[in-house]
Amino acid sequence: MGRGTLMLNNLDHLTRWESDWKGLRVVVAGLGLSGFSAADTLIELGAHVVVIDGADTEVNQSRGETLKIVGATDVLLGAAHLDELPLINGLAPQLLIASPGWNPRQPLLVAAAQAGIEIWGDVELAWRVREKEGRKLAEWVVITGTNGKTTTVSMTEAIFQAAGLRAIAAGNVGTPILDAIRDPEGFDVIAVELSSFQLHYTHTMSPLASVVLNIAEDHVDWHGGFEFYKADKAKIYERTRVAAIYNAEEPVVEAMVENADVTEGCRAIGFTTNVPGLSMVGVVDGLLVDRAFIEDRKNSAAELIALDQMGEVVPRHTASNAAAAAALARAFGVEPEAVAKGLSSFDSGDHRIQAVARRDDVLWINDSKATNPHAANAALGAFSSVVWIAGGLSKGVEYDELVTAHVKRLKAVIVIGTDTAALLGALQRHAPQVPVIMAEVRETGVETATGSAAAKDGSAVMAQAVKRAAEVATAGDTVLMAPAAASMDQFTSYAQRGNAFIDAVRALMEEETS
């Protein structure tokens, strides 16, 4: 939605499943998982739906045919449909549902905003249809931040389930929020991960509890500037009813809570990896404790879990995520025992500071989920002597602060990726003494089975990077693949990039033992 745009179609009456959605003329922009889910939901509600996507792929054609079968008015695929709003049954649309990846400056969205057409995302639609006769009404706790969202939302889900609640993690992770909303049994609570893109198109959500984990420069190209990015992140606190939870170690996040228009009676709850102050969750002598949701919080704290119960090594950012998840659960009313049970059983999964191998006292770590400098900062800070594999699609961010903070840890840097100028410039300015080794392989295209298109396969890139890292790493070093950049220049995803690293390390180990 364009900032400051006057809405000509007032859809305030659409607040539950049984509202009068029939005949509403809706354009759904994007046919990914969230777009498909939104279109399917609206068709079920009786709306007239036209779906548009610029990619005329086999996947989209299949999804489009499915939507036509269930009642879509039309499905328009291809770049030719991206510039003008379609008529629906001869009339202008009344609503546009934008998929998260659609930039607000995209011509179709600009045209909608200029025409006074409301623009929602799938999260806004889900919030408005969550109430349905005969279905359990789930509470929402919502999570955003530059990094740690998926870990925190999964921790929160684990805690709720350990408490015996019917709970699910949804939104920007795994299950589209509308699929969770339409579950026939319903849920007691949904832990909703929200990206800045999703928050941009969300307007009336009023969660039980909300949290911003952290803020760092990211997605500035999509938002048009860091201030706009921060403003969209801060929207998560609006209309929060019970607890607006913030990172007490980040003044920018604390200011978001101070300026938020929350519901009367909502509390501001801090979380920290240090000793907690009043109305905070924090860490004391290796224990995660609660000084926010207990009666005598001025003089005591409730023990939640010993951090060593969560794993042999618990990096600071993991403790921070656990504190945020615990605060969300405690705001809902979960008992300390369930917090401990959920966090102790939580598995952080692949590609996040994942130990891959140890040989000759060299530790190999896969942190492919570090897709920006802020995420890589957490990984670099966990080790003392690092051979760093870094680089990729930078998304317009800078690396000066990251390199300056960790220059003393860097033994060497192996640079991958095709968008290397910002990283190389920062290394030259702030770490001129650190050896920089370029992975010479750049081409990652391989023909698909049909020969019709090139697929990204960065295995050769990663194999070379691992080989170069092995040549400089010695006992006591950590080879850390934390790219601080997106993966799409040489890989299909951060997961493929991480798997390529794992495969390359294992191949190296086998080669050394043969």
Binding-site residue positions for ATP? 145-151
Q: 134 burial class (0-12, 13-18, 19+ CB within 10 angstroms)?
A: exposed
Is the four-CA dihedral 248, 342, 316, 501 of positive or negative sign?
negative
User: Which residue, 359, 310, 376, 504, is CA-closest to 367?
Assistant: 376
Q: What are phi and psi of 398, to 5 degrees?
A: -110, 160
Secondary structure of residue 192 in the 3-state scheme:
strand
- Both tokens assigned to 417: 């990726």
Output the six-digit token pair for 376: 């890589």
Q: Which residues are annotated as a binding site?
A: 145-151
Give me the DSSP letters along 206-267: --SEEEE----S--HHHHTSHHHHHHHHHGGGTT--SEEEEETT-HHHHHHHHT--PPTTPE
Both tokens of 313, joined, read 């090594």
Closest Cα partner for 103 from 252, 1, 240?
A: 1
DSSP annotation of 88 reads B
Q: What's the Cα-to-Cα distance from 76 to each of 23, 53, 55, 58, 64, rounded to whole Å? A: 20, 7, 10, 13, 8
Report helix, strand or coil for 298.
coil
